[in-house]
Amino acid sequence: MGRRPSEPGTVEGETMPEGKTMRWNLPDTELPTTWFNVVPLLPEPIGPPLHPATRQPLGPDDLAPLFPMALIAQEMTTEPTVEIPGEVLDVLRLWRPTPLVRATRLEKALGTPARIYYKDESVSPAGSHKPNTAVPQAFYNKAEGVARLTTETGAGQWGSALSFACAFYGLECKVYMVRASYEQKPYRRVLMETWGGSVVPSPVDEPGHPGSLGAAISDAVRDAVGRPDSHYSLGSVLNHVLLHQTVIGQEAKAQLAMAGEERPDVVIGCCGGGSNLGGITLPFVTDPRVRLLAVEPASCPTLTAGRYEYDFGDSAGYAPMLLMYTLGHDFVPPSIHAGGLRYHGDSPIISALVRSGRMQAVAYPQSKTFEAAITWARTQGTVPAPETGHAIRAVIDEALAAKEEGAERVILFNYSGHGLLDLSAYDAYLRGQLVD
Amino acid sequence: MGRRPSEPGTVEGETMPEGKTMRWNLPDTELPTTWFNVVPLLPEPIGPPLHPATRQPLGPDDLAPLFPMALIAQEMTTEPTVEIPGEVLDVLRLWRPTPLVRATRLEKALGTPARIYYKDESVSPAGSHKPNTAVPQAFYNKAEGVARLTTETGAGQWGSALSFACAFYGLECKVYMVRASYEQKPYRRVLMETWGGSVVPSPVDEPGHPGSLGAAISDAVRDAVGRPDSHYSLGSVLNHVLLHQTVIGQEAKAQLAMAGEERPDVVIGCCGGGSNLGGITLPFVTDPRVRLLAVEPASCPTLTAGRYEYDFGDSAGYAPMLLMYTLGHDFVPPSIHAGGLRYHGDSPIISALVRSGRMQAVAYPQSKTFEAAITWARTQGTVPAPETGHAIRAVIDEALAAKEEGAERVILFNYSGHGLLDLSAYDAYLRGQLVD
């Protein structure tokens, strides 16, 4: 448990005294200059990716049709840190470091002695944490002469981020968007097009199918391997993606210290493929006093009800096989609004942490997460993404448990994205039309 | 002309050196504690508001059915500053101070020697500068025992802001939304409902009419005067609204100093009723070396083609008469996407500044403003509101003029809001379906 802070940010009694700080901004000169690699520190090793046809461990050459060599090296590295190129820092600096904010109004509404901090990743141009990896991925591809990237997207957060990054490096961007989200969220398509990306619904050859992340990955991989000018880009799951996201947790550590907190008692993130969760939790893995909590949808309960085994990363079996918790690569999750959490598998790193007991996982039905999101909007003011609503649900339950126990507790979570392009989901919830 | 800065933020030659600051965050303890009142400093006095029936100057009692006494006093004050209540600062501090950012990537794309700075008001929960006045208006109404506020909204920015503020003070909120925007922007309605507001299209008694801000004001005023528990709230035009927005320009002054700039050469804002423009420009009025520029739509050219005379604030003649530039209170602007700029009149303060020559005005057709907005999105990364696109159009033209002249120039503008809930307008532009 963190000590009670005497710095700005303290709430004395019931009311927030005037003039107290609730946000901690790092100067942009304090942006981390290295990524944090958790792989050599994991409690048990992760399995190597296997070739989908031969089921033999993959070498760098096997991945070369999909990824640039720099990213393949990062996927396999066991170095403790990886340097962030200056050209990448220059773009990240458009919105990073992101603020650390204390949710004092939510605390007060809940009547909890817990102190709730969140890292606000919604401030990026694309509205989520996703550009943290889209930018270096576009950079390394450009540096190796690639002209075009293909990718999949669920709710559209990742496709938006990659379209944004490609605009900055002069790359073409083709996005295969899960059809359920394509139809629920037309503004996401327009956002990608505003940055110059092109978007089609997936699966491309089954027009009536609601789609899944697994199927959209198949579409994007097939496109990339079929064109010599193209590579494929993945927005979650892989080691190098989680590596890029560790700027979040590194900044949060520095900002918690500014806020006078020694450490969080628990760090919480929602989990689809695991990238925002990894981004905020991995820098805390080595401190056993810090609990780590993954939050997933009850309708796609990979970590809480999946099997730990090798499975394909996509539904058609084009992508490498990964050792992970999985619901089966042919699992098609219901069309919940948190499209970014509709993935049958999970990051091998996150899976290994859950397998070893270092990280816990919990699942919620979507109505409970929208209830939490509305509470957030009416106390803290901002409208979270449905994915982020899952993290907020768990945060509220942790804060209420702290109240029940009469215990102080420092809760840190990742506010992974805003919900301004997900308002049709809020409309459904407010009209009572949302099903679990 | 400001001196060349030697502080962080300098661009040396063609490339931005690594590690240089492009954003200046004021600590939240540095939020201004007073509003800046320009009224006693105006080059020529503004005319008093007149009663719409008697055409005699209005006294405080005449305004009491609409506004709380504290706001009426602020509307009429000639004190140089007005103290901001601590309870208001506590809510503003959720997102203020807002960042000052240098648009180095746009500068580079234009090849201009100008240094372009913007104040990012899009970071508020409602996505624009509007909460700067919504919060104190809700606070003062609550303090005087009002239970319910009515208002109009154009594009939805103002209605969103008031719904947000009412949620924080436990007030009911009823929003009359200009029908053209209500139909173009369904997500704005959902956003207001997420904060607990209720929204109806206006004019309420003419279902086929596209509506106008003037007509929506009539609907909201009629509702408020008909119910003893209700007051009316206006998001622009009036003196107290511009007063509340002066936090923007005050912060910008302090942040420009942090960036090593002595002063801006020109300050630019888009203008509908004048609140975001006033917010950023008024604190610079007394420095004659700083040029002030208003940007309006060519289809609603109030400042550039209107008459300076007393006119009604609304279309039906319920609202007070104001001395201002006006196109006539029965003018119905075309349904351009920058709904927040579709007002027949203008703030009396802004009108007096233009009349006296202290402020200049320019008008653009909407296609030119979307062209500028796309350039912004693909260089700076964020998607501006269509209203903000007007300011950006003028900024680009100023920067290109500086290039033509080979002159350094410090340009400051107000990035008044994001366009994430206006993506249908971008869709129309990108598909070539947008008409001027």
* DSSP annotation string for B121-148: GGGSTTSBSTHHHHHHHHHHHHHTT--E
* DSSP string across B362-402: EEE-HHHHHHHHHHHHHHT---B-HHHHHHHHHHHHHHHHH
Instruction: Return d(Cα B118, Cα A184) in angstroms, integer.
Output: 34
A26, A420, A421, A422, best to mutate vs chain B, most B CBs in 10 Å: A420
- Listed by number, the residues of chain A in 65-94 with a beta carbon closer than 8 Å to a beta carbon of chain B are 86, 89-90, 93-94
| B43: number of Cβ within 10 Å | 12
Q: What is the pLDDT of residues B10-31, one digit of tens each?
A: 233 333 334 466 899 998 889 9
A28, A29, A105, best to mutate vs chain B, most B CBs in 10 Å: A28
Q: Could you give the strand order of the β-sheet that contains B266-270, starting from the edge strand earlier in sequence?
A: B23-24, B100-102, B115-120, B410-415, B266-270, B291-297, B359-364
Q: Is the dihedral of CA A253, A255, A258, A259 positive or negative?
A: negative
Q: Write a three-state SS string for A32-73.
A: CCEEECCHHHCCCCCCCCECCCCCCECCHHHHCCCCCHHHHH
Instruction: Return d(Cα A218, Cα A297) in angstroms, integer.
Output: 23
b/e A67-85 (16+ beta carbons within 10 angstroms → b): bbebbbebbbbeeeebebb
Q: Report the DSSP beta bridge partners of residue A309.
A: A324
Instruction: Return d(Cα A199, Cα A201) in angstroms, integer.
Output: 7
Say if the Cβ atoms of B127 and A420 lie within 8 Å.
Answer: yes
Q: Which helix (H) or strand (E) holds A205?
A: none
Task: Show the domains of chain B with their CATH numbers.
Answer: 23-32+89-128+241-430 (3.40.50.1100)
Say if the Cβ atoms of B420 and A127 lie within 8 Å.
Answer: yes
Instruction: Return d(Cα A194, Cα A156) in angstroms, integer.
Output: 13
Contacts of B378 in chain A (CB under 8 A): 167, 195-196
Q: What is the pLDDT of residues A260-290, one digit of tens each?
A: 999 999 999 999 999 999 999 999 999 999 9
Find out whether A292 and A285 touch, Cβ atoms under 8 Å: yes
Q: Phi, psi at residue B363, to the nearest 5°?
A: -125, 140
A104, A187, A195, best to mutate vs chain B, most B CBs in 10 Å: A187
Find out whether A16 and A104 touch, Cβ atoms under 8 Å: yes
Mean of per-residue pLDDT scores for chain B: 92
Q: Phi, psi at residue A84, to the nearest 5°?
A: -90, 125
Helices A186-194 and B423-430: crossing angle in degrees, nearest 10, is 60
DSSP-derived pairing of the beta strands A148-153 and A230-232: parallel
| B111: number of Cβ within 10 Å | 10
Find out whether A118 and A411 touch, Cβ atoms under 8 Å: no
* DSSP string across A261-300: -S--SEEEEE-SSSHHHHHHHGGGTT-TTSEEEEEEETTS
Find out whether B302 and B296 touch, Cβ atoms under 8 Å: yes
- Listed by number, the residues of chain B in 145-184 with a beta carbon closer than 8 Å to a beta carbon of chain A are 164, 167-168
Instruction: Return d(Cα A95, Cα B123) in angstroms, integer.
Output: 11
Q: What is the pLDDT of residues A1-23, one digit of tens each?
A: 333 333 333 233 333 334 466 89
- Cα A326 from chain centroid (whole Å): 18
Which residue of A lies nearest to B430 if distances are taken between CA atoms?
A194
Q: In whole angstroms, how far apart are CA B229 and each of B139, B161, B163, B249?
A: 15, 21, 17, 35
pLDDT average, residue stretch B32-57? 95
Place of tokens 């008008």: B363
Find out whether A230 and A149 touch, Cβ atoms under 8 Å: yes
A428 in reach of chain B (CB within 8 A): no
* Regions of chain A with pLDDT less than 70: 1-21
- Listed by number, the residues of chain A in 373-402 with a beta carbon closer than 8 Å to a beta carbon of chain B are 374, 377-378, 380-383
Find out whether B284 and B38 touch, Cβ atoms under 8 Å: no
Show the tokens assigned to B65.
Answer: 């059915």
Report chain A's terminal Cα–Cα distance, integer Å.
Answer: 35
Tally of CA atoms within 13 A in the half-sphere of B36 that contains its CB:
21
Q: What is the pLDDT of residue A148?
A: 98
Q: What is the pLDDT of residue B114?
A: 97
Q: What is the pLDDT of residue B350?
A: 98
Of B29, B186, B421, the CB nearest to A19: B29
Residue B378 has pLDDT above 90, yes or no: yes
A30 in reach of chain B (CB within 8 A): no
Residue type present at position A110 = L
Instruction: Return d(Cα B73, Cα A108) in angstroms, integer.
Output: 33
Say if the Cβ atoms of B29 and A21 lie within 8 Å.
Answer: yes
Q: Which helix (H) or strand (E) holds B304?
A: helix B302-305
Tally of CA atoms within 13 A in the half-sphere of A190 that contains its CB:
21
ipTM: 0.91
Instruction: Return d(Cα A365, Cα B93) in angstroms, integer.
Output: 33
A432 in reach of chain B (CB within 8 A): no
Instruction: Return d(Cα A183, Cα A194) in angstroms, integer.
Output: 18
With vertex at residue A134, the alpha carbon angle to CA A131 and CA A136, rounded to the nearest 5 degrees, is 110
Sequence-ordered alpha helix ranges (H) in B213-273:
213-225, 239-245, 247-258
Residue type present at position A238 = L
Could you list the beta-strand ranges (E) of B39-187.
81-83, 100-102, 115-120, 148-153, 172-178
Q: Which helix (H) or strand (E) holds B359?
A: strand B359-364
Ramachandran assignment for B19, one of left (phi > 0), alpha (psi -120 to 50 degrees), beta (any other): left
Instruction: Return d(Cα B96, Cα A51) in angstroms, integer.
Output: 51
Which residue of B lies nearest to A103 if distances are taken between CA atoms?
B94
- Residue A121: CB partners within 8 Å, gap ≥ 6? A98, A128, A129, A132, A248, A276, A279, A414, A415, A416, A417
Residue type present at position A133 = T
Say if the Cβ atoms of B193 and A430 lie within 8 Å.
Answer: yes
Q: Which of A391-405, B146-160, B336-350, B383-397 has the lowest mean pLDDT?
A: B336-350
Contacts of A8 in chain B (CB under 8 A): 29
Show the tokens assigned to A313.
Answer: 């990363």
Find out whether B269 and B413 touch, Cβ atoms under 8 Å: yes
Q: What is the pLDDT of residue A16?
A: 39
Q: Phi, psi at residue B353, to the nearest 5°?
A: -65, -40
Find out whether A214 and A343 touch, Cβ atoms under 8 Å: yes
